[in-house]
Amino acid sequence: MSSSRQTEILITGIGITSAIGQGKAAFASALMAGRQAFGVMQRPGRQYEGSRFPGAEIPALAYPEQLSKSLLRTASLSGQAAMITLHEAWEDAGLADVDPERIGLVIGGSNIQQRELTQIHADYENRIHFLRANYGLTFMDSDLCGLCSEQFGIQGFAYTLGGASASGQLAIIHAIQAVQAGQVDVCIAMGALMDLSFWECQGLRSLGAMGSDRYIEPALACRPFDMNRDGFIFGESCGVVVIERADSPRQHNVQPYARLPGWAITMDANRNPNPSCEGEVRVIQKALQQSRWLPKDIDYINPHGSGSVIGDETEICAIKACRLSHAYINASKSIIGHGLAAAGTVEVIATLLQMQSSCLHPSLNLENPIEPSCNWVRQQPIAHRIDNALTLSMGFGGINTALCVQRY
Amino acid sequence: MAISDLPGLGQDAQAACKPFKNGRPFETELNSYHNLLIRKMNKDDIFNIITEHSCEVVPELSTHSFQRDDQLSELGANSMDRADIIIMTLESLSLRIPLLAVAKAKNIGELTDLLYEQLQAN
Protein backbone atom coordinates (compact mmCIF):
# COMPACT_ATOMS: atom_id res chain seq x y z
CA MET A 1 0.00 0.00 0.00
CA SER A 2 1.37 3.37 -0.82
CA SER A 3 -0.21 6.70 -0.12
CA SER A 4 0.48 9.60 -2.42
CA ARG A 5 0.77 13.07 -0.96
CA GLN A 6 -1.65 14.39 -3.56
CA THR A 7 -4.45 12.11 -2.53
CA GLU A 8 -4.78 13.10 1.08
CA ILE A 9 -7.52 11.12 2.78
CA LEU A 10 -10.00 12.87 5.06
CA ILE A 11 -12.78 11.94 7.45
CA THR A 12 -15.61 14.37 6.80
CA GLY A 13 -18.52 12.94 8.77
CA ILE A 14 -19.28 10.61 11.65
CA GLY A 15 -22.27 8.86 13.18
CA ILE A 16 -22.46 6.82 16.34
CA THR A 17 -25.05 4.72 18.12
CA SER A 18 -24.03 3.03 21.33
CA ALA A 19 -25.24 1.90 24.72
CA ILE A 20 -23.72 5.01 26.30
CA GLY A 21 -25.33 7.44 23.87
CA GLN A 22 -26.89 7.91 20.44
CA GLY A 23 -25.34 10.67 18.37
CA LYS A 24 -21.87 12.15 18.64
CA ALA A 25 -22.71 14.73 21.32
CA ALA A 26 -24.27 12.23 23.73
CA PHE A 27 -21.53 9.70 23.01
CA ALA A 28 -18.71 12.20 23.60
CA SER A 29 -20.30 13.43 26.79
CA ALA A 30 -20.64 9.91 28.22
CA LEU A 31 -17.13 9.00 27.12
CA MET A 32 -15.52 11.98 28.80
CA ALA A 33 -17.54 11.44 31.97
CA GLY A 34 -16.72 7.73 32.00
CA ARG A 35 -20.45 7.01 32.10
CA GLN A 36 -20.76 3.30 31.34
CA ALA A 37 -23.97 1.33 30.81
CA PHE A 38 -23.06 -2.20 31.84
CA GLY A 39 -25.55 -4.55 33.40
CA VAL A 40 -26.77 -8.12 33.13
CA MET A 41 -28.07 -8.13 29.55
CA GLN A 42 -31.84 -8.09 29.19
CA ARG A 43 -32.54 -8.10 25.47
CA PRO A 44 -34.61 -11.17 24.47
CA GLY A 45 -32.32 -13.92 23.22
CA ARG A 46 -29.23 -12.74 25.13
CA GLN A 47 -29.53 -15.17 28.04
CA TYR A 48 -30.42 -18.81 28.50
CA GLU A 49 -31.83 -20.21 31.72
CA GLY A 50 -29.30 -19.62 34.45
CA SER A 51 -26.94 -17.36 32.47
CA ARG A 52 -26.02 -13.82 33.53
CA PHE A 53 -23.95 -12.49 30.64
CA PRO A 54 -22.91 -8.92 31.41
CA GLY A 55 -22.87 -6.27 28.71
CA ALA A 56 -24.05 -2.84 27.63
CA GLU A 57 -27.28 -2.61 25.64
CA ILE A 58 -28.75 0.37 23.79
CA PRO A 59 -31.75 1.41 25.90
CA ALA A 60 -33.99 2.66 23.05
CA LEU A 61 -33.24 3.80 19.53
CA ALA A 62 -34.42 7.24 18.48
CA TYR A 63 -35.58 7.13 14.85
CA PRO A 64 -35.05 10.21 12.66
CA GLU A 65 -38.28 11.11 10.85
CA GLN A 66 -36.60 10.88 7.47
CA LEU A 67 -36.09 7.13 7.73
CA SER A 68 -38.55 4.95 5.82
CA LYS A 69 -41.00 3.24 8.16
CA SER A 70 -41.47 0.55 5.58
CA LEU A 71 -37.75 -0.27 5.59
CA LEU A 72 -37.51 -0.06 9.37
CA ARG A 73 -40.42 -2.50 9.77
CA THR A 74 -38.45 -5.45 8.50
CA ALA A 75 -34.98 -4.24 9.52
CA SER A 76 -33.22 -6.16 12.27
CA LEU A 77 -31.75 -4.34 15.26
CA SER A 78 -28.45 -4.23 13.35
CA GLY A 79 -30.25 -2.87 10.29
CA GLN A 80 -32.07 -0.19 12.23
CA ALA A 81 -28.87 0.89 13.98
CA ALA A 82 -27.16 1.01 10.57
CA MET A 83 -29.79 3.31 9.08
CA ILE A 84 -29.91 5.59 12.11
CA THR A 85 -26.14 5.87 12.42
CA LEU A 86 -25.61 6.42 8.72
CA HIS A 87 -28.26 9.14 8.81
CA GLU A 88 -26.20 11.06 11.34
CA ALA A 89 -22.98 10.68 9.35
CA TRP A 90 -24.77 11.55 6.08
CA GLU A 91 -26.04 14.82 7.54
CA ASP A 92 -22.74 15.50 9.27
CA ALA A 93 -20.78 15.23 6.01
CA GLY A 94 -23.49 16.99 3.98
CA LEU A 95 -23.78 14.27 1.34
CA ALA A 96 -27.20 15.24 0.00
CA ASP A 97 -25.76 16.90 -3.12
CA VAL A 98 -23.16 14.29 -4.00
CA ASP A 99 -23.70 12.29 -7.19
CA PRO A 100 -25.19 9.01 -5.86
CA GLU A 101 -23.11 7.01 -8.35
CA ARG A 102 -19.96 8.42 -6.74
CA ILE A 103 -20.83 7.20 -3.24
CA GLY A 104 -19.82 3.78 -1.92
CA LEU A 105 -20.61 1.92 1.29
CA VAL A 106 -18.48 -0.69 3.04
CA ILE A 107 -20.04 -2.42 6.02
CA GLY A 108 -17.68 -4.18 8.40
CA GLY A 109 -19.01 -7.30 10.07
CA SER A 110 -20.21 -10.81 9.29
CA ASN A 111 -22.83 -12.95 11.04
CA ILE A 112 -24.02 -9.79 12.71
CA GLN A 113 -27.72 -10.63 13.26
CA GLN A 114 -27.40 -13.85 15.25
CA ARG A 115 -29.72 -12.91 18.12
CA GLU A 116 -32.43 -11.79 15.76
CA LEU A 117 -32.16 -15.04 13.79
CA THR A 118 -32.20 -17.14 16.96
CA GLN A 119 -35.38 -15.38 18.06
CA ILE A 120 -37.08 -15.94 14.71
CA HIS A 121 -36.12 -19.63 14.69
CA ALA A 122 -37.59 -20.08 18.15
CA ASP A 123 -40.71 -18.10 17.29
CA TYR A 124 -41.48 -20.08 14.13
CA GLU A 125 -40.26 -23.47 15.27
CA ASN A 126 -43.78 -24.89 15.30
CA ARG A 127 -45.21 -22.84 12.45
CA ILE A 128 -42.41 -22.71 9.93
CA HIS A 129 -44.95 -22.83 7.11
CA PHE A 130 -45.89 -19.26 8.02
CA LEU A 131 -42.34 -17.89 8.23
CA ARG A 132 -42.44 -14.32 6.91
CA ALA A 133 -41.25 -13.86 3.38
CA ASN A 134 -38.88 -11.10 4.43
CA TYR A 135 -36.73 -13.66 6.27
CA GLY A 136 -35.50 -14.81 2.85
CA LEU A 137 -33.85 -11.42 2.47
CA THR A 138 -33.16 -10.22 5.97
CA PHE A 139 -31.18 -13.21 7.22
CA MET A 140 -28.24 -12.06 5.10
CA ASP A 141 -25.84 -9.46 6.49
CA SER A 142 -25.93 -7.80 3.10
CA ASP A 143 -29.50 -6.74 3.85
CA LEU A 144 -27.88 -3.79 5.63
CA CYS A 145 -26.39 -2.75 2.27
CA GLY A 146 -29.85 -2.91 0.73
CA LEU A 147 -31.48 -0.98 3.54
CA CYS A 148 -28.89 1.78 3.54
CA SER A 149 -28.52 2.08 -0.22
CA GLU A 150 -32.29 2.34 -0.69
CA GLN A 151 -32.72 4.82 2.16
CA PHE A 152 -29.89 7.09 1.05
CA GLY A 153 -29.93 6.44 -2.69
CA ILE A 154 -26.36 5.13 -2.78
CA GLN A 155 -25.56 3.92 -6.31
CA GLY A 156 -21.79 3.44 -6.35
CA PHE A 157 -21.29 0.15 -4.53
CA ALA A 158 -22.21 -1.43 -1.21
CA TYR A 159 -20.87 -4.63 0.29
CA THR A 160 -20.07 -6.24 3.62
CA LEU A 161 -16.71 -7.57 4.67
CA GLY A 162 -15.64 -9.57 7.69
CA GLY A 163 -12.54 -9.36 9.81
CA ALA A 164 -13.89 -10.48 13.20
CA SER A 165 -13.23 -7.76 15.77
CA ALA A 166 -11.14 -5.82 13.26
CA SER A 167 -14.08 -5.56 10.83
CA GLY A 168 -14.83 -1.93 11.66
CA GLN A 169 -11.32 -0.74 10.99
CA LEU A 170 -11.03 -3.03 8.00
CA ALA A 171 -14.10 -1.30 6.53
CA ILE A 172 -12.40 2.07 6.96
CA ILE A 173 -9.26 0.82 5.21
CA HIS A 174 -11.32 -0.52 2.31
CA ALA A 175 -13.17 2.78 2.09
CA ILE A 176 -9.86 4.64 1.98
CA GLN A 177 -8.62 2.38 -0.80
CA ALA A 178 -11.82 2.89 -2.77
CA VAL A 179 -11.58 6.68 -2.74
CA GLN A 180 -7.85 6.58 -3.29
CA ALA A 181 -8.32 4.42 -6.38
CA GLY A 182 -11.01 6.79 -7.64
CA GLN A 183 -13.74 4.14 -7.61
CA VAL A 184 -15.96 6.65 -5.83
CA ASP A 185 -15.53 10.19 -4.49
CA VAL A 186 -17.08 9.45 -1.11
CA CYS A 187 -16.97 6.13 0.68
CA ILE A 188 -18.88 5.44 3.84
CA ALA A 189 -17.39 2.92 6.26
CA MET A 190 -19.58 1.30 8.86
CA GLY A 191 -18.81 -0.96 11.79
CA ALA A 192 -22.09 -2.82 12.10
CA LEU A 193 -23.90 -3.54 15.34
CA MET A 194 -23.09 -7.16 16.10
CA ASP A 195 -26.19 -8.59 17.70
CA LEU A 196 -25.03 -11.56 19.78
CA SER A 197 -27.40 -14.27 20.92
CA PHE A 198 -26.79 -16.40 24.00
CA TRP A 199 -25.17 -18.95 21.68
CA GLU A 200 -22.39 -16.56 20.69
CA CYS A 201 -22.05 -15.28 24.26
CA GLN A 202 -21.58 -18.81 25.54
CA GLY A 203 -19.21 -19.72 22.71
CA LEU A 204 -17.07 -16.65 23.32
CA ARG A 205 -17.03 -17.35 27.03
CA SER A 206 -16.11 -21.01 26.50
CA LEU A 207 -13.28 -19.81 24.32
CA GLY A 208 -12.05 -17.68 27.22
CA ALA A 209 -12.54 -14.48 25.26
CA MET A 210 -15.62 -13.09 27.00
CA GLY A 211 -15.34 -12.12 30.66
CA SER A 212 -16.63 -14.39 33.39
CA ASP A 213 -19.34 -13.96 36.03
CA ARG A 214 -16.87 -13.46 38.83
CA TYR A 215 -17.77 -9.79 39.22
CA ILE A 216 -21.29 -9.64 40.64
CA GLU A 217 -21.41 -5.98 39.64
CA PRO A 218 -21.23 -5.95 35.82
CA ALA A 219 -19.70 -2.45 35.81
CA LEU A 220 -16.58 -3.89 37.43
CA ALA A 221 -16.19 -6.73 34.94
CA CYS A 222 -14.94 -4.61 32.05
CA ARG A 223 -11.31 -3.77 32.89
CA PRO A 224 -8.95 -3.67 29.92
CA PHE A 225 -5.25 -3.69 30.81
CA ASP A 226 -5.99 -4.19 34.50
CA MET A 227 -4.30 -7.03 36.36
CA ASN A 228 -7.70 -8.43 37.34
CA ARG A 229 -9.28 -8.56 33.88
CA ASP A 230 -10.54 -11.88 32.58
CA GLY A 231 -12.05 -11.17 29.19
CA PHE A 232 -13.99 -8.64 27.14
CA ILE A 233 -17.46 -7.39 28.00
CA PHE A 234 -19.85 -6.93 25.11
CA GLY A 235 -21.33 -3.52 24.29
CA GLU A 236 -23.83 -2.83 21.50
CA SER A 237 -22.65 -0.15 19.10
CA CYS A 238 -22.56 0.94 15.49
CA GLY A 239 -20.22 3.52 14.01
CA VAL A 240 -20.02 5.25 10.64
CA VAL A 241 -17.28 7.43 9.18
CA VAL A 242 -17.33 9.22 5.84
CA ILE A 243 -14.09 9.03 3.87
CA GLU A 244 -13.11 11.36 1.03
CA ARG A 245 -10.06 12.50 -0.85
CA ALA A 246 -8.99 16.07 -0.18
CA ASP A 247 -9.02 16.65 -3.95
CA SER A 248 -12.49 15.17 -4.35
CA PRO A 249 -14.54 16.93 -7.04
CA ARG A 250 -17.24 17.97 -4.64
CA GLN A 251 -17.04 21.27 -2.84
CA HIS A 252 -16.29 20.66 0.80
CA ASN A 253 -18.50 22.75 2.96
CA VAL A 254 -17.71 20.86 6.14
CA GLN A 255 -14.65 21.00 8.33
CA PRO A 256 -12.92 17.59 8.13
CA TYR A 257 -12.34 15.79 11.40
CA ALA A 258 -8.91 14.46 10.52
CA ARG A 259 -6.49 13.20 7.91
CA LEU A 260 -5.67 9.51 7.54
CA PRO A 261 -2.04 9.41 6.41
CA GLY A 262 -1.36 5.72 6.96
CA TRP A 263 -2.91 2.35 7.54
CA ALA A 264 -2.00 -1.30 7.39
CA ILE A 265 -3.38 -4.82 7.59
CA THR A 266 -1.30 -7.84 8.57
CA MET A 267 -2.13 -11.47 9.21
CA ASP A 268 -0.49 -13.73 11.78
CA ALA A 269 -1.09 -16.83 9.66
CA ASN A 270 -2.88 -18.27 12.68
CA ARG A 271 -6.52 -19.34 12.62
CA ASN A 272 -6.82 -19.38 16.42
CA PRO A 273 -7.81 -16.59 18.80
CA ASN A 274 -4.35 -16.12 20.30
CA PRO A 275 -2.73 -12.90 19.04
CA SER A 276 0.87 -12.35 18.01
CA CYS A 277 3.17 -9.59 19.23
CA GLU A 278 5.22 -9.97 16.06
CA GLY A 279 2.12 -9.54 13.86
CA GLU A 280 1.01 -6.47 15.81
CA VAL A 281 4.48 -4.93 15.62
CA ARG A 282 4.45 -5.41 11.86
CA VAL A 283 1.08 -3.74 11.44
CA ILE A 284 2.11 -0.74 13.56
CA GLN A 285 5.41 -0.34 11.74
CA LYS A 286 3.78 -0.54 8.32
CA ALA A 287 1.20 2.10 9.24
CA LEU A 288 3.89 4.40 10.66
CA GLN A 289 6.04 3.91 7.61
CA GLN A 290 3.20 4.83 5.29
CA SER A 291 2.45 7.92 7.38
CA ARG A 292 6.12 8.84 7.40
CA TRP A 293 5.85 9.11 11.15
CA LEU A 294 8.45 8.21 13.71
CA PRO A 295 7.36 6.60 16.97
CA LYS A 296 7.98 9.90 18.78
CA ASP A 297 5.42 11.63 16.55
CA ILE A 298 2.55 9.64 18.05
CA ASP A 299 1.07 11.31 21.10
CA TYR A 300 -2.04 9.14 21.63
CA ILE A 301 -2.91 5.48 21.12
CA ASN A 302 -6.44 4.15 21.00
CA PRO A 303 -5.65 0.48 21.47
CA HIS A 304 -7.73 -2.59 20.75
CA GLY A 305 -7.63 -3.16 24.55
CA SER A 306 -10.49 -5.62 24.88
CA GLY A 307 -9.75 -6.89 28.38
CA SER A 308 -8.65 -10.26 27.04
CA VAL A 309 -5.96 -11.75 29.27
CA ILE A 310 -3.56 -12.62 26.49
CA GLY A 311 -4.76 -9.97 24.03
CA ASP A 312 -3.95 -7.03 26.29
CA GLU A 313 -0.53 -8.41 27.18
CA THR A 314 0.30 -8.99 23.53
CA GLU A 315 -0.77 -5.49 22.57
CA ILE A 316 1.39 -3.92 25.26
CA CYS A 317 4.27 -6.08 24.06
CA ALA A 318 3.82 -4.61 20.56
CA ILE A 319 3.45 -1.02 21.79
CA LYS A 320 6.66 -1.29 23.81
CA ALA A 321 8.51 -3.00 20.98
CA CYS A 322 7.52 -0.14 18.69
CA ARG A 323 8.82 2.39 21.23
CA LEU A 324 5.43 3.96 21.82
CA SER A 325 5.31 3.80 25.62
CA HIS A 326 5.47 7.59 25.81
CA ALA A 327 2.12 8.08 24.04
CA TYR A 328 -1.02 8.54 26.08
CA ILE A 329 -3.17 5.43 26.05
CA ASN A 330 -6.70 4.80 27.33
CA ALA A 331 -9.26 2.05 26.78
CA SER A 332 -12.50 3.09 25.08
CA LYS A 333 -13.91 -0.42 25.56
CA SER A 334 -13.78 0.08 29.34
CA ILE A 335 -16.70 2.52 28.89
CA ILE A 336 -18.42 1.41 25.67
CA GLY A 337 -17.85 -2.33 25.93
CA HIS A 338 -16.59 -4.40 23.01
CA GLY A 339 -18.72 -3.88 19.92
CA LEU A 340 -16.87 -6.66 18.05
CA ALA A 341 -17.57 -5.87 14.36
CA ALA A 342 -18.32 -2.24 15.26
CA ALA A 343 -15.36 -1.68 17.57
CA GLY A 344 -12.80 -0.52 15.01
CA THR A 345 -15.05 2.19 13.62
CA VAL A 346 -16.47 3.25 16.97
CA GLU A 347 -12.99 3.65 18.44
CA VAL A 348 -11.82 5.78 15.53
CA ILE A 349 -14.82 7.99 16.29
CA ALA A 350 -13.82 8.06 19.97
CA THR A 351 -10.36 9.16 18.83
CA LEU A 352 -11.78 11.92 16.62
CA LEU A 353 -14.01 13.26 19.39
CA GLN A 354 -11.09 13.33 21.81
CA MET A 355 -9.03 15.09 19.17
CA GLN A 356 -11.81 17.62 18.70
CA SER A 357 -12.23 18.33 22.43
CA SER A 358 -8.51 18.18 23.28
CA CYS A 359 -9.40 15.90 26.15
CA LEU A 360 -8.66 12.21 26.73
CA HIS A 361 -11.38 10.08 28.28
CA PRO A 362 -10.71 8.04 31.41
CA SER A 363 -10.20 4.27 31.51
CA LEU A 364 -12.59 2.58 33.90
CA ASN A 365 -11.41 -0.08 36.34
CA LEU A 366 -7.77 0.41 35.43
CA GLU A 367 -6.64 -0.01 39.04
CA ASN A 368 -3.44 -1.97 38.50
CA PRO A 369 -2.20 -1.60 34.93
CA ILE A 370 -0.42 -4.66 33.61
CA GLU A 371 2.40 -2.40 32.42
CA PRO A 372 3.06 0.56 34.72
CA SER A 373 5.56 2.15 32.34
CA CYS A 374 2.89 3.02 29.75
CA ASN A 375 1.39 6.50 29.77
CA TRP A 376 -2.12 5.55 30.93
CA VAL A 377 -5.15 7.77 31.22
CA ARG A 378 -6.73 6.25 34.31
CA GLN A 379 -9.68 7.34 36.46
CA GLN A 380 -9.75 10.98 35.37
CA PRO A 381 -9.85 12.58 31.92
CA ILE A 382 -6.71 14.42 30.89
CA ALA A 383 -6.53 17.65 28.91
CA HIS A 384 -4.35 16.89 25.90
CA ARG A 385 -4.23 18.09 22.31
CA ILE A 386 -3.95 15.04 20.07
CA ASP A 387 -1.92 15.71 16.94
CA ASN A 388 -1.05 12.23 15.75
CA ALA A 389 -3.00 9.22 16.95
CA LEU A 390 -2.64 5.52 16.31
CA THR A 391 -5.71 3.28 16.51
CA LEU A 392 -5.46 -0.50 16.57
CA SER A 393 -7.85 -3.40 16.01
CA MET A 394 -7.25 -7.12 16.17
CA GLY A 395 -9.51 -10.03 15.36
CA PHE A 396 -9.76 -13.81 15.61
CA GLY A 397 -8.06 -15.59 12.79
CA GLY A 398 -4.92 -13.51 13.21
CA ILE A 399 -5.96 -10.23 11.62
CA ASN A 400 -4.32 -6.97 12.76
CA THR A 401 -5.15 -3.49 11.51
CA ALA A 402 -3.65 -0.10 12.29
CA LEU A 403 -4.78 3.36 11.30
CA CYS A 404 -2.95 6.66 11.75
CA VAL A 405 -5.18 9.66 12.46
CA GLN A 406 -3.82 13.19 12.15
CA ARG A 407 -5.35 16.45 13.34
CA TYR A 408 -6.68 18.45 10.37
CA MET B 1 -64.41 -23.44 31.01
CA ALA B 2 -65.64 -25.70 28.24
CA ILE B 3 -65.72 -24.78 24.61
CA SER B 4 -69.52 -24.81 24.64
CA ASP B 5 -69.37 -21.87 27.06
CA LEU B 6 -67.64 -19.69 24.53
CA PRO B 7 -69.88 -17.11 22.91
CA GLY B 8 -70.77 -16.73 19.27
CA LEU B 9 -71.29 -20.35 18.31
CA GLY B 10 -74.48 -21.38 16.52
CA GLN B 11 -76.16 -24.75 16.78
CA ASP B 12 -73.93 -26.32 14.15
CA ALA B 13 -70.89 -25.24 16.06
CA GLN B 14 -72.32 -26.45 19.35
CA ALA B 15 -72.84 -29.82 17.76
CA ALA B 16 -69.36 -29.84 16.36
CA CYS B 17 -68.01 -29.10 19.81
CA LYS B 18 -69.54 -32.14 21.44
CA PRO B 19 -66.68 -34.49 20.70
CA PHE B 20 -64.30 -32.06 22.42
CA LYS B 21 -66.03 -32.12 25.77
CA ASN B 22 -64.24 -35.15 27.13
CA GLY B 23 -61.50 -33.57 29.12
CA ARG B 24 -59.30 -32.30 26.29
CA PRO B 25 -56.93 -29.50 27.30
CA PHE B 26 -58.43 -26.05 27.07
CA GLU B 27 -55.80 -24.95 24.57
CA THR B 28 -56.80 -27.75 22.22
CA GLU B 29 -60.43 -26.81 22.61
CA LEU B 30 -59.56 -23.17 21.98
CA ASN B 31 -57.73 -24.08 18.78
CA SER B 32 -60.72 -26.07 17.65
CA TYR B 33 -62.93 -23.11 18.46
CA HIS B 34 -60.59 -20.83 16.53
CA ASN B 35 -60.65 -23.13 13.52
CA LEU B 36 -64.39 -23.34 13.70
CA LEU B 37 -64.75 -19.58 13.67
CA ILE B 38 -62.40 -19.36 10.70
CA ARG B 39 -64.50 -21.83 8.74
CA LYS B 40 -67.51 -19.63 9.43
CA MET B 41 -65.79 -16.52 8.01
CA ASN B 42 -67.40 -14.77 5.09
CA LYS B 43 -65.66 -12.76 2.40
CA ASP B 44 -65.93 -9.50 4.33
CA ASP B 45 -64.10 -11.05 7.27
CA ILE B 46 -61.31 -12.23 4.98
CA PHE B 47 -61.16 -8.86 3.21
CA ASN B 48 -60.76 -7.19 6.61
CA ILE B 49 -57.96 -9.53 7.63
CA ILE B 50 -56.09 -8.75 4.41
CA THR B 51 -56.45 -5.01 4.91
CA GLU B 52 -55.40 -5.22 8.58
CA HIS B 53 -52.20 -7.01 7.60
CA SER B 54 -51.69 -4.58 4.73
CA CYS B 55 -51.72 -1.71 7.22
CA GLU B 56 -49.36 -3.60 9.49
CA VAL B 57 -46.88 -4.09 6.65
CA VAL B 58 -47.37 -0.68 5.01
CA PRO B 59 -48.20 1.67 7.91
CA GLU B 60 -48.93 4.52 5.47
CA LEU B 61 -52.17 2.67 4.54
CA SER B 62 -53.70 3.07 7.97
CA THR B 63 -55.92 5.92 6.74
CA HIS B 64 -56.69 4.35 3.35
CA SER B 65 -60.25 3.31 2.57
CA PHE B 66 -59.76 -0.12 1.03
CA GLN B 67 -61.81 -1.25 -1.98
CA ARG B 68 -62.08 -4.67 -3.60
CA ASP B 69 -60.32 -3.46 -6.75
CA ASP B 70 -57.34 -2.03 -4.85
CA GLN B 71 -54.02 -3.53 -5.99
CA LEU B 72 -51.46 -3.99 -3.23
CA SER B 73 -48.63 -3.04 -5.59
CA GLU B 74 -50.31 0.27 -6.38
CA LEU B 75 -50.82 0.90 -2.68
CA GLY B 76 -47.07 0.89 -2.14
CA ALA B 77 -46.51 -2.73 -1.15
CA ASN B 78 -43.41 -4.12 -2.86
CA SER B 79 -43.03 -7.80 -3.74
CA MET B 80 -41.65 -8.70 -0.30
CA ASP B 81 -44.40 -6.72 1.42
CA ARG B 82 -47.05 -8.49 -0.67
CA ALA B 83 -45.65 -11.90 0.18
CA ASP B 84 -45.60 -10.95 3.87
CA ILE B 85 -49.22 -9.73 3.72
CA ILE B 86 -50.37 -12.97 2.11
CA ILE B 87 -48.44 -15.19 4.53
CA MET B 88 -49.74 -13.22 7.53
CA THR B 89 -53.26 -13.62 6.16
CA LEU B 90 -52.77 -17.33 5.60
CA GLU B 91 -51.57 -17.69 9.18
CA SER B 92 -54.57 -15.74 10.49
CA LEU B 93 -56.77 -18.14 8.51
CA SER B 94 -54.71 -21.19 9.58
CA LEU B 95 -54.57 -22.00 5.89
CA ARG B 96 -51.60 -24.06 4.76
CA ILE B 97 -51.54 -23.67 1.01
CA PRO B 98 -48.73 -22.79 -1.40
CA LEU B 99 -48.47 -19.10 -2.28
CA LEU B 100 -48.91 -20.09 -5.91
CA ALA B 101 -52.51 -20.95 -5.12
CA VAL B 102 -53.31 -17.26 -4.78
CA ALA B 103 -50.75 -15.89 -7.22
CA LYS B 104 -53.30 -15.15 -9.95
CA ALA B 105 -55.24 -12.66 -7.79
CA LYS B 106 -55.06 -9.23 -9.45
CA ASN B 107 -56.49 -7.22 -6.59
CA ILE B 108 -57.61 -7.52 -2.98
CA GLY B 109 -61.10 -8.58 -4.03
CA GLU B 110 -59.82 -11.47 -6.11
CA LEU B 111 -57.44 -12.45 -3.34
CA THR B 112 -60.37 -12.50 -0.94
CA ASP B 113 -62.36 -14.74 -3.26
CA LEU B 114 -59.49 -17.17 -3.75
CA LEU B 115 -58.82 -17.40 -0.03
CA TYR B 116 -62.52 -17.94 0.63
CA GLU B 117 -62.57 -20.81 -1.88
CA GLN B 118 -59.47 -22.35 -0.31
CA LEU B 119 -60.98 -22.03 3.13
CA GLN B 120 -64.10 -23.87 2.03
CA ALA B 121 -62.06 -26.55 0.30
CA ASN B 122 -59.78 -27.19 3.30
Element (H, E) at A356: helix A343-357
Cβ separation of B60 and A127 shorter than 8 Å? no
Q: What is the pLDDT of residue B38?
A: 75
Identify whether B1 is part of a domain.
Answer: no
B78 and B94 in a common domain: yes
Q: Is the CB of residue A45 less than 8 Å from the CB of residue A121?
A: no
Kindly tell me if the per-residue pLDDT of A4 is higher than 90.
no
**Average pLDDT, stretch B68-92?**
95
Identify whether B78 is part of a domain.
Answer: yes
**Average pLDDT, stretch A2-31?**
89
B57 and B109 in a common domain: yes
Parent domain of B112: 42-122
Q: How far is CA A31 from CA A335, A341, A374, A391, B13, in A?
A: 7, 20, 21, 17, 65
Residues of B within 8 A of A134 (CB-CB) are: 80, 83-84
B56 and B27 in a common domain: no
Q: What is the pLDDT of residue B6?
A: 47
Q: How far apart are CA A235 and CA A335, in angstroms?
A: 9
CA A262 to the chain's CA centroid: 18
Rg (CA), chain A: 20
Q: What is the pLDDT of residue B23?
A: 52
Identify whether B48 is part of a domain.
Answer: yes
ipTM value: 0.79
Residue type, A343: A
Cβ separation of A69 and B91 shorter than 8 Å? no
B104 and B52 in a common domain: yes
Identify whether B29 is part of a domain.
Answer: yes
Q: Give contacts of B 50-69 with A, CB under 8 A.
A: 57-60
- Give tens-digit pLDDT for A96-126: 999 999 999 999 999 999 999 999 999 999 9
Identify whether B82 is part of a domain.
Answer: yes
Identify whether B100 is part of a domain.
Answer: yes
Residues 6+ positions from B4 with CB-CB distance below 8 Å: B14, B17, B21
**Average pLDDT, stretch A300-313?**
97
Cβ separation of A70 and B58 shorter than 8 Å? yes
- How much is the mean pLDDT over chain B? 82
B61 and B25 in a common domain: no
B108 and B70 in a common domain: yes
B46 and B28 in a common domain: no
Output the domain CATH number for residue B61: 1.10.1200.10
Q: How far apart are CA A401 and CA A407, in angstroms?
A: 20
Residue type, A39: G
Q: Which of B56, B80, B96 to mutate to test the interface with A (most CBs of A within 10 A)?
A: B80
B30 and B52 in a common domain: no
B95 and B119 in a common domain: yes
B114 and B103 in a common domain: yes
B106 and B57 in a common domain: yes
Identify whether B2 is part of a domain.
Answer: no
Residues of A within 8 A of B58 (CB-CB) are: 70
B103 touches chain A (CB under 8 A): no
Tally of domains within chain B: 2
- In DSSP notation, A310-350 reads HHHHHHHHHHHHTT-TTSEE--THHHH-B-GGGHHHHHHHH
Q: How far apart are CA B79 and CA A327, in angstroms?
A: 55
Q: How far apart are CA A225 and CA A133, in angstroms?
A: 46
B87 and B35 in a common domain: no
Question: Min CA distance, B87 vs chain A (Å)?
Answer: 6
Residue B33 or B51, more confident = B51
Q: What is the pLDDT of residue A213?
A: 86
Q: Is the CB of residue B82 less than 8 Å from the CB of residue B105?
A: no
Q: How far apart are CA B70 and CA B110, in angstroms?
A: 10
Identify whether B115 is part of a domain.
Answer: yes
What is the 3-class SS of A57-90, one letter each residue? CCCCCCCCCCCCHHHHHHCCHHHHHHHHHHHHHH
